Protein backbone atom coordinates (compact mmCIF):
# COMPACT_ATOMS: atom_id res chain seq x y z
CA UNK A 1 0.00 0.00 0.00
CA UNK A 2 1.34 3.41 -1.01
CA UNK A 3 0.76 6.21 1.48
CA UNK A 4 1.50 9.85 0.70
CA UNK A 5 2.49 12.37 3.32
CA UNK A 6 3.82 15.88 2.59
CA UNK A 7 6.60 15.35 5.15
CA UNK A 8 8.33 13.03 2.66
CA UNK A 9 7.64 15.07 -0.48
CA UNK A 10 10.67 17.13 -1.54
CA UNK A 11 8.55 19.47 -3.68
CA UNK A 12 6.15 20.12 -0.81
CA UNK A 13 9.18 20.79 1.38
CA UNK A 14 10.41 23.37 -1.17
CA UNK A 15 6.96 24.94 -0.97
CA UNK A 16 7.02 25.00 2.85
CA UNK A 17 10.53 26.49 2.87
CA UNK A 18 9.34 29.20 0.46
CA UNK A 19 6.43 29.82 2.81
CA UNK A 20 8.83 30.21 5.73
CA UNK A 21 11.08 32.52 3.72
CA UNK A 22 8.10 34.66 2.71
CA UNK A 23 7.66 35.55 6.39
CA UNK A 24 11.27 35.26 7.64
CA UNK A 25 13.68 36.20 4.82
CA UNK A 26 16.80 35.25 6.81
CA UNK A 27 17.19 32.50 9.41
CA UNK A 28 19.49 29.73 10.57
CA UNK A 29 19.27 26.48 8.62
CA UNK A 30 18.42 24.44 11.74
CA UNK A 31 15.66 26.88 12.68
CA UNK A 32 14.21 26.55 9.17
CA UNK A 33 14.22 22.76 9.58
CA UNK A 34 12.42 23.01 12.92
CA UNK A 35 9.82 25.46 11.62
CA UNK A 36 9.27 23.24 8.57
CA UNK A 37 8.66 20.26 10.86
CA UNK A 38 6.09 22.18 12.90
CA UNK A 39 4.34 23.51 9.78
CA UNK A 40 4.03 19.89 8.64
CA UNK A 41 2.94 18.60 12.06
CA UNK A 42 1.36 21.57 13.88
CA UNK A 43 -0.03 19.38 16.66
CA UNK A 44 3.56 18.50 17.65
CA UNK A 45 3.85 22.04 19.06
CA UNK A 46 2.20 20.53 22.16
CA UNK A 47 5.47 18.70 22.87
CA UNK A 48 7.58 21.87 23.01
CA UNK A 49 8.55 23.30 26.38
CA UNK A 50 7.27 26.80 25.77
CA UNK A 51 7.93 29.94 27.81
CA UNK A 52 4.93 31.10 29.83
CA UNK A 53 4.24 33.91 27.36
CA UNK A 54 3.73 31.37 24.54
CA UNK A 55 1.69 28.63 26.24
CA UNK A 56 -1.34 29.58 24.16
CA UNK A 57 0.44 27.77 21.31
CA UNK A 58 -0.33 24.42 22.92
CA UNK A 59 -4.06 25.19 22.82
CA UNK A 60 -3.78 26.18 19.16
CA UNK A 61 -1.85 22.99 18.36
CA UNK A 62 -4.40 20.77 20.07
CA UNK A 63 -6.93 21.73 17.39
CA UNK A 64 -4.72 19.97 14.82
CA UNK A 65 -4.45 16.63 16.61
CA UNK A 66 -5.13 13.70 14.32
CA UNK A 67 -4.10 10.16 15.26
CA UNK A 68 -3.57 9.30 11.59
CA UNK A 69 -1.39 12.27 10.66
CA UNK A 70 0.53 13.03 13.86
CA UNK A 71 4.08 11.75 14.16
CA UNK A 72 4.38 8.60 16.23
CA UNK A 73 7.88 9.62 17.31
CA UNK A 74 8.63 13.29 16.51
CA UNK A 75 12.41 12.86 16.90
CA UNK A 76 12.45 9.94 14.46
CA UNK A 77 10.26 11.73 11.89
CA UNK A 78 12.32 14.93 12.22
CA UNK A 79 15.52 12.98 11.59
CA UNK A 80 13.84 11.14 8.72
CA UNK A 81 12.86 14.45 7.09
CA UNK A 82 16.47 15.72 7.10
CA UNK A 83 17.45 14.33 3.69
CA UNK A 84 14.35 15.84 2.10
CA UNK A 85 14.98 19.20 3.75
CA UNK A 86 18.60 19.18 2.53
CA UNK A 87 17.41 18.46 -1.01
CA UNK A 88 14.72 21.14 -0.84
CA UNK A 89 17.06 23.87 0.37
CA UNK A 90 19.69 22.72 -2.14
CA UNK A 91 17.10 23.17 -4.87
CA UNK A 92 16.36 26.70 -3.66
CA UNK A 93 20.08 27.48 -3.63
CA UNK A 94 20.56 26.04 -7.13
CA UNK A 95 17.66 28.09 -8.48
CA UNK A 96 19.04 31.31 -6.96
CA UNK A 97 16.17 31.81 -4.52
CA UNK A 98 18.47 31.27 -1.52
CA UNK A 99 21.89 32.92 -1.29
CA UNK A 100 24.65 30.33 -1.83
CA UNK A 101 27.32 32.01 0.33
CA UNK A 102 25.11 32.46 3.37
CA UNK A 103 23.81 28.89 3.01
CA UNK A 104 27.38 27.58 3.23
CA UNK A 105 27.59 29.49 6.54
CA UNK A 106 24.41 27.80 7.84
CA UNK A 107 22.11 30.76 7.21
CA UNK A 108 19.25 30.70 4.71
CA UNK A 109 18.78 34.11 3.11
CA UNK A 110 16.09 34.78 0.52
CA UNK A 111 17.43 36.56 -2.57
CA UNK A 112 15.54 39.08 -4.69
CA UNK A 113 14.67 36.37 -7.24
CA UNK A 114 11.05 36.71 -8.29
CA UNK A 115 8.61 33.84 -7.90
CA UNK A 116 5.74 33.27 -10.30
CA UNK A 117 2.60 35.13 -9.22
CA UNK A 118 0.67 31.86 -9.08
CA UNK A 119 3.21 30.39 -6.64
CA UNK A 120 3.12 33.48 -4.45
CA UNK A 121 -0.69 33.19 -4.40
CA UNK A 122 -0.46 29.53 -3.35
CA UNK A 123 1.96 30.42 -0.56
CA UNK A 124 -0.46 33.11 0.66
CA UNK A 125 -3.33 30.63 0.52
CA UNK A 126 -1.28 28.03 2.42
CA UNK A 127 -0.42 30.48 5.19
CA UNK A 128 -4.00 31.78 5.32
CA UNK A 129 -5.44 28.25 5.56
CA UNK A 130 -4.18 27.89 9.15
CA UNK A 131 -3.66 31.48 10.29
CA UNK A 132 -3.52 31.01 14.06
CA UNK A 133 -1.04 28.13 14.19
CA UNK A 134 0.90 29.44 11.18
CA UNK A 135 1.33 32.82 12.84
CA UNK A 136 2.34 31.13 16.07
CA UNK A 137 4.99 28.97 14.35
CA UNK A 138 6.36 31.63 11.99
CA UNK A 139 6.22 34.58 14.38
CA UNK A 140 6.16 33.54 18.03
CA UNK A 141 8.13 30.30 17.83
CA UNK A 142 10.56 31.75 15.29
CA UNK A 143 11.41 34.60 17.67
CA UNK A 144 12.92 32.19 20.19
CA UNK A 145 16.70 31.89 19.93
CA UNK A 146 17.91 28.70 18.30
CA UNK A 147 20.90 27.82 20.47
CA UNK A 148 21.70 27.16 24.11
CA UNK A 149 19.61 26.35 27.14
CA UNK A 150 16.02 27.50 26.53
CA UNK A 151 16.76 27.90 22.84
CA UNK A 152 14.54 26.28 20.23
CA UNK A 153 16.81 23.23 19.95
CA UNK A 154 16.57 22.64 23.69
CA UNK A 155 12.85 23.40 23.99
CA UNK A 156 11.87 21.05 21.13
CA UNK A 157 14.28 18.24 22.02
CA UNK A 158 14.74 17.55 18.31
CA UNK A 159 18.32 18.82 17.94
CA UNK A 160 21.37 18.67 20.18
CA UNK A 161 22.05 21.95 21.98
CA UNK A 162 24.63 21.17 24.67
CA UNK A 163 27.64 21.97 22.50
CA UNK A 164 26.25 25.12 20.92
CA UNK A 165 28.31 28.24 20.96
CA UNK A 166 25.83 30.93 21.95
| pLDDT tens for the 166 residues of the chain, in order | 678 889 999 999 999 999 999 999 999 999 999 999 999 999 999 999 999 999 999 999 999 887 667 767 899 999 999 999 999 999 999 999 999 999 999 999 999 999 999 999 999 999 999 999 999 999 999 999 999 888 999 999 999 887 777 6
Phi, psi of 108 (to 5 degrees): -100, 120
Report the alpha-carbon distance of residue 115 to residue 31 in Å, rounded: 23
| Angle at which helices 10-23 and 29-40 cross, to 10° | 110
CA distances, 8 to each of 20, 71, 91 (Å): 17, 12, 15
Distance from the first to the final alpha carbon of the chain: 46
What is the distance between the alpha carbons of residues 122 and 127, in angstroms, rounded to a whole number? 9
Confidence (pTM): 0.94
Q: In sequence order, what are the beta bridge partners of 28?
A: 107
Give me the residue spans of the domains in the chain. 6-156
Rounded to 5 degrees, φ, ψ at 99 are -65, 125
Amino acid sequence: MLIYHPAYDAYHCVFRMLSILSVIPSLEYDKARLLDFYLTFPSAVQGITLPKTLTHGKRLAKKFENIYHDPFDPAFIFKDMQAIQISAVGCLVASGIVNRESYSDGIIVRTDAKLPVSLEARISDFLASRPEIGDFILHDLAMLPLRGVNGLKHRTGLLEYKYDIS
